[in-house]
Amino acid sequence: MRIDIITVVPDLLEGPFSHSILKRAEEKGLAKVRIHNIRDYSSGKQKQVDDYAFGGGAGMVMMIEPIAKCIEALKSERDYDEVIYMTPDGETFNQPMANELSLKGNIIILCGHYKGVDERIRQKWITREISIGDYVLSGGELAAAVVADAIIRLLPGVLNDETSALTDSFQDGLLAPPVYTRPAEYDGMKVPDILLSGHQSKIDSWRFEASVRRTKERRPDLLEGNEFQGDLKFE
Ligand code: ADE
């Protein structure tokens, strides 16, 4: 999979992709992330990428030309499945979207800045608009890093333990159960006995029930209309 991220602040994106799982995905050849500086596509000495909004008002608007040139240059090199624009007024990102996007081949992600991009960019080039939540960031870069991380960790071979992405919160519509490691007792706080029992099927049932209970307590909205609403054995 290849993800091309278009931004006016490439430095903001260097960190997330040069560490840990995302770095390993790149080294293993499973995911390629390339960052493109919009300024490199701006004509003129000033390398201008934004301008005043028609109609007045505070805040600058990202100009069409440098973004269009960058997108067209990328598209001339390969086909893209999606051209995504990160924006607070997009569709709210969630695990099913991450799953779906992880099946794509090539994706472009455009990061907005200032007051956003000229609307005509959205009309002509953008195939999908994504928000990572109902709050406004100073730009789309951190949001793009969130989306890219959520996608890349799902690619087969990226995580060491192949099953671990499948047991994440949200993958089965439930939050993940609590987890523990050694020591079995710390300052009087004990790990639930069942997890030390070695009885795998009982452990699996305990985890499932703990997931349902946690989801009921914290995110009852996730349980609406599904079959886990009944009483819990371990309550
Ligand atoms: N850009 C600014 N805020 C954002 C958000 N919440 N999601 C995606 N992109 C953004």
Which residues are CB-neighbours of 78 under 8 A, at least 6 positions away?
2, 106
| pLDDT reading at 225 higher than 80 | no
Beta strands in the chain, from DSSP E residues, in sequence order: 2-7, 32-37, 50-52, 60-62, 82-92, 106-111, 128-131, 185-186, 189-190
CA dist 90 and 115 (Å) reads 15
Decide if pLDDT at 220 tops 70.
Answer: yes
pLDDT band at 164 (very low <50, low <70, confident <90, very high): confident
Predicted confidence at residue 31, as pLDDT, reads 96
> Which amino acid is it at 197?
S
- pLDDT value of position 234: 56
Q: Bigger pLDDT: 82 or 45?
A: 82
Residue 13 C-alpha to ligand 1 middle, in angstroms?
15
Quickly state the pLDDT bin for 21 (edges 50, 70, 90).
confident
**Band of the pLDDT at 196, cuts 50, 70, 90?**
very high
Helix (H) or strand (E) holding 77, with range, is helix 64-77
Q: State residue 235's pLDDT score.
A: 47
The response to whether residue 131 sits with its C-beta less than 6 Å from ligand 1 reads yes
Q: What local confidence, expressed as pLDDT, does residue 119 receive?
A: 98
The verdict on the CB of residue 110 being under 6 Å from ligand 1 is no
Residue 228: pLDDT band (50, 70, 90) is low
Average pLDDT on 205-227 reads 93
Average pLDDT, the chain: 93
Q: What count of other Cβ atoms lies within 10 Å of the Cβ of residue 180?
A: 13
Percent of the chain surpassing pLDDT 70: 95
For the segment 12-17, the average pLDDT, to the nearest whole number, is: 91
* Ligand 1 neighbourhood includes 42 CB (under 6 angstroms): no
pLDDT digits (tens, 9 = 90+) for 182-192: 999 999 999 99
Distance 136 CA to ligand 1 centre (A): 5
> Is 116's pLDDT higher than 70?
yes
| Ligand 1 atom 5 nearest Cα | 88
Nearest CA among 115, 127, 61 for reference residue 88 = 115
Contact status, residue 50 vs residue 61, Cβ threshold 8 Å: yes
Q: What is the edge-to-edge ordering of all strands in the sheet holding 32-37?
A: 32-37, 2-7, 106-111, 82-92, 128-131
CA separation for the pair 60, 70 (Å, rounded): 20
Cβ-based burial of 3 (10 A; exposed 0-12, middle 13-18, buried ≥19) = buried
Packing angle, helices 20-27 and 141-152, rounded to 10 = 60
List of E strands, 113-194? 128-131, 185-186, 189-190
Question: 113, 131, 147, 149: which to mutate for ligand 1, most atoms within 8 A of CB?
Answer: 131
Give the model's pLDDT for residue 170. Answer: 86
Nearest CA to ligand 1 atom 6: 88
pLDDT at 60: 96
Q: Answer yes or no: are the C-beta atoms of 3 and 32 closer than 8 Å.
A: yes
